[in-house]
């Protein structure tokens, strides 16, 4: 016999000892977020020939020389999920890794316990910055990834700037039981409220009873200051002969807030738009007209009101400049010019040819009112049904300055900021990364991996697309170590270690017997 059996047993004990170390590391990290367990693969060592000089047709006898570690491979199967405590606690349901960067160190991880630091960067517990794509104010996602961060102001707040109102939508029912309330005007019955507007009156620009219904909504200038737009409606008796029903309307603001040149004390201060709505016998909106102030002359004179321009969406628009007064200092400032589209339920690409250029050209003939060319009835268009007048829905798209209140992150990794002014804005989008071979990644500690030549270069992609996993917010991925499986492996490893130690002790006894034979 030879001493090889001692060495064979030694390799077995050494290999099983290494395996026990791996099992111990797996169990030590059973509660580590995003941890990937390891598994040991053994391989045979070289074999020794026990017969020599045999002919080619005789089987060769070989004896193994023990066992060694073939590989220690990482198990990249997905772990379980547990609830997180913040919206930036993120888990990946499927394939992919987060990329985190600290200087020239580029790492990849499945542990998504991220937070924003004092500088506004999204970081992991080790200060590595999470990577993603920026989103412009227009909502365009950039192509290249960079550090995800929030723009923190000098006051420590994250804000969105004010946004001037560009469109106001009103859905109304103008009750058919209302009567013509405005002062009768035989010359311009469709603009009676316009002509009776008096910004210098102590009881308001339109006296009580001048309109049958009015509704108000707040709009915002480019400084984020709020201004109340009030739209007054009144049926026009002269239109009833055709069977259709026409309402005149006038839209205006507080005269004291009119910042247009020459309007500080004018009777027409605050006037913004005037026009008509025409309904068929069933109460459906079928046509409308709209005029805006030309900026010259008396604003209460229909001759100074031109046919309103139409927006890109086919809605009539008006322009207004606002005066803002600081209640603390009394300082008066003027906003930039606001162009606002008014949506009452109809839109068109143009007015019919032959439409009057000014409101004064309409006169008392309903047939002279301008018409929309092939109008489109919009969602929730205004109506003129029986009953009382009411506002069904109203909205506008402006907002004051807003402060970040919370963040949501969707399946595609889009980070949406929820601001105090009701704005929901896309801020950044997380990116995920895959490799040709995950088993080629190198562990770097702190739940990090780095790429190697064996893993191949990282491939960037958008979550929930192209076989990449989806992002789950306020959720964390736990370790993928199965304790029951590890305990079974621990028992088999212990038995293997004991068996190999028995090989050594038995071989020692055989050698001792040989030594004793000489006595």
Report DSSP letters for 360-422, one per residue: GGTTT-GGGS--BSS-EEPTT--B--SS--EEEEEEE--B--EEEEEEEE-TT-EEEEEETTS
How many CA atoms lie within 13 Å of 249's alpha carbon, on the beta-carbon side? Answer: 31
Where is mean pLDDT largest: 2-6, 70-74, 295-299?
295-299
Mean pLDDT, range 60-77, rounded to an integer = 81
Which of residues 323 and 500 earns the better pLDDT score?
323
Sign for the CA dihedral angle at 362, 366, 368, 371 comes to: positive
Q: How confident is the model at residue 459 (pLDDT cuts 50, 70, 90)?
A: very high
Q: In terms of domains, do 92 and 121 share one?
A: yes
Tell me how far apart the alpha carbons of residues 438 and 452 are, in angstroms, rounded to a whole number.
10
- Confidence class for position 53, pLDDT limits 50, 70, 90: low
Q: How much of the chain exceeds pLDDT 70, in percent?
A: 93
Strand residues in 65-128 grouped as ranges (E): 67-74, 81-83, 89-93, 97-102, 105-109, 112-113, 115-116, 122-123
* pLDDT (0 to 100) of residue 225: 95
Please tell me the total count of domains within the chain.
3
Nearest residue to 250 (alpha-carbon basis) of 203, 296, 321, 199: 199
Q: Is residue 256 in some structural domain?
A: yes
Q: Which of 34-38, 51-55, 486-490 has the lowest mean pLDDT?
A: 51-55
Which of residues 3 and 513 earns the better pLDDT score? 513
> Residue 285 contacts by C-beta under 8 Å, 6 or more apart in sequence?
277, 278, 279, 344, 345, 346, 377, 381, 382, 383, 384
Q: What angle do CA 375, 376, 377 make, to 5 degrees?
A: 120
How does pLDDT run across 216-254, given as a tens digit for each residue? 999 999 999 999 999 999 998 755 556 789 999 999 999
Range of the structural domain that residue 467 is part of = 85-161+405-430+462-477
**pLDDT at 91 (0 to 100):** 97
Residues 473, 484 within the same domain: no
pLDDT value, residue 57: 61
- pTM above threshold 0.85: no
345 and 365, same domain (yes or no): yes
Tell me, yes or no, whether 154 and 239 share the same domain.
no
Of the given ranges (56-70, 225-239, 267-281), which has the lowest mean pLDDT? 56-70
Confidence of residue 68 (pLDDT cuts 50, 70, 90): confident
> Binning pLDDT at 50, 70 and 90, where does residue 518 land?
low
Provide mean pLDDT across the span 28-40. Answer: 92
Shared-domain flag, residues 339 and 376: yes
Residue 276 is predicted with a pLDDT of: 96
DSSP state, residue 236: -
User: For residue 49, what pLDDT band results from cuts at 50, 70 and 90?
Assistant: low
Task: State which of 379, 396, 413 marks the end of a domain.
Answer: 396
Percent of the chain predicted with pLDDT > 90: 70
Average pLDDT, rounded, for the chain: 90
User: Are 313 and 382 within one domain?
Assistant: yes
391 & 413 share domain: no
- pLDDT tens-digit map of 417-434: 999 999 999 999 999 999
pLDDT for position 305: 96
- Whole-number pLDDT of residue 344: 98
Check whether residue 305 and residue 239 sit in a common domain.
yes
Same domain, residue pair 351 and 215 = yes
The per-residue pLDDT for 113 is 97
What's the pLDDT score for residue 103?
95
Clarify whether residues 278 and 251 are in a common domain: yes
In a domain, 62, yes or no: yes
Please indicate, yes or no, if residue 443 is contained in any of the structural domains.
no
Give a yes or no: residue 388 inside a domain: yes
Domain assignment present for residue 411? The answer is yes
**516 pLDDT tier (thresholds 50, 70, 90):** confident
Would you place residue 265 in the very low, low, confident or very high pLDDT band (cuts 50, 70, 90)? confident
Residues 92-133 have pLDDT tens digits of 999 999 999 999 999 999 999 999 999 999 999 999 999 999
Tell me what the mean pLDDT of segment 290-303 comes to: 95
Residue 442 falls within a domain, yes or no? no
Among the candidates 373, 396, 419, a domain finishes at: 396
- The reply to whether 223 and 352 lie within a common domain is yes
pLDDT (0 to 100) of residue 122 = 98
448 within domain boundaries = no
Position 3 pLDDT exceeds 90? no
Residues 429-445: what's their mean pLDDT?
A: 96
Q: What is the pLDDT of residue 238?
A: 55
Of 396, 413, 447, the one marking the end of a domain is 396
Question: Looking at the structure, do residues 25 and 114 belong to the same domain, yes or no?
Answer: no
**pLDDT at position 61 over 90:** no
pLDDT at position 195, please?
94
Q: What is the CA radius of gyration of the chain?
A: 40
3-class SS letters over 419-478: ECCCCEEEEEEECEEECCCHHHCEEEECCEEECCCCCCCCEEECCCCCCCCEEEECEEEC
pLDDT over threshold 70, residue 2:
no
Whether residue 185 has pLDDT greater than 90: no
pLDDT at 507: 77
pLDDT(48) > 80:
no
User: In the prediction, which pLDDT does 50 show?
Assistant: 61
């Amino acid at each position: 016999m030879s001493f090889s059996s001692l060495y064979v047993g030694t390799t077995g004990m050494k290999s099983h000892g290494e395996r026990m170390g791996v099992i111990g590391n797996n169990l030590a990290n059973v509660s580590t977020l995003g941890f990937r367990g390891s598994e040991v693969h053994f391989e045979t060592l070289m074999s020794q020939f026990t017969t020599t000089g045999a002919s080619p047709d005789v089987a060769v006898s070989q004896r193994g020389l023990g066992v060694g570690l073939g590989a220690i491979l990482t198990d990249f199967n997905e772990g379980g999920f547990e609830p997180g405590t913040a919206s930036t606690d993120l888990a990946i349901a499927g394939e992919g890794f987060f990329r985190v960067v600290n200087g020239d160190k580029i790492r990849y991880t499945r542990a998504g316990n991220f937070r924003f630091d004092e500088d506004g960067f999204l970081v992991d517990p080790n200060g590595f910055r999470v990577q993603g794509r920026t989103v412009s104010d227009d909502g365009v996602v950039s192509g290249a990834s960079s550090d995800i961060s929030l723009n923190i102001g000098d006051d420590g707040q994250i804000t969105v700037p004010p946004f001037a109102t560009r469109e106001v939508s009103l859905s109304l029912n103008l009750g058919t039981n209302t009567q013509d309330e405005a002062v009768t005007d035989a010359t311009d019955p469709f603009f009676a409220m316009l002509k009776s507007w008096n910004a210098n009156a102590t009881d308001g620009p339109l006296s009580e009873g001048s309109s049958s219904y009015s509704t108000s909504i707040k709009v915002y200038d480019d400084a984020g200051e709020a201004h109340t737009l009030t739209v007054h409606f009144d049926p026009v008796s002269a239109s009833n002969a055709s069977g259709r029903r026409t309402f005149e309307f006038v839209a205006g603001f507080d005269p004291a807030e009119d910042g247009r040149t020459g309007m500080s004390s004018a009777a027409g201060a605050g006037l913004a738009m005037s026009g008509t709505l025409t309904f068929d016998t069933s109460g459906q909106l079928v046509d409308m007209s709209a005029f805006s102030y030309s900026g010259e002359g008396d604003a209460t004179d229909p001759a100074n009101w031109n046919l309103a321009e139409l927006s890109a969406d086919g809605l009539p628009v008006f322009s207004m400049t606002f005066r803002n007064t600081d209640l603390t200092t009394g300082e008066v400032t003027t906003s930039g010019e606001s162009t606002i589209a008014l949506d009452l339920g109809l839109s068109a690409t143009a007015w019919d040819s032959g439409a009057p250029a000014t409101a004064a050209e309409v006169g008392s003939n309903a047939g002279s009112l301008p018409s929309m060319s092939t109008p489109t009835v919009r969602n929730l268009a205004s109506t003129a049904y029986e009953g009382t007048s009411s506002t069904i829905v109203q909205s506008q798209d402006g907002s004051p300055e807003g402060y970040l209140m919370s963040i949501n992150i969707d399946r595609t990794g889009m980070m949406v900021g929820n601001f105090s002014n009701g704005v929901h804005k896309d801020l950044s989008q997380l990116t995920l990364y895959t490799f040709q071979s995950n088993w080629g990644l190198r562990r770097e500690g702190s739940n990090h991996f780095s790429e190697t030549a064996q893993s191949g270069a990282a491939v960037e992609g958008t979550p929930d697309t192209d076989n990449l996993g989806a992002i789950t917010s306020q959720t964390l991925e736990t370790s993928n170590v199965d304790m029951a499986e590890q305990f079974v492996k621990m028992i088999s490893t212990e038995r293997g270690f004991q068996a190999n130690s028995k090989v050594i002790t038995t071989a020692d006894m055989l050698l001792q017997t040989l030594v004793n034979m000489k006595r």
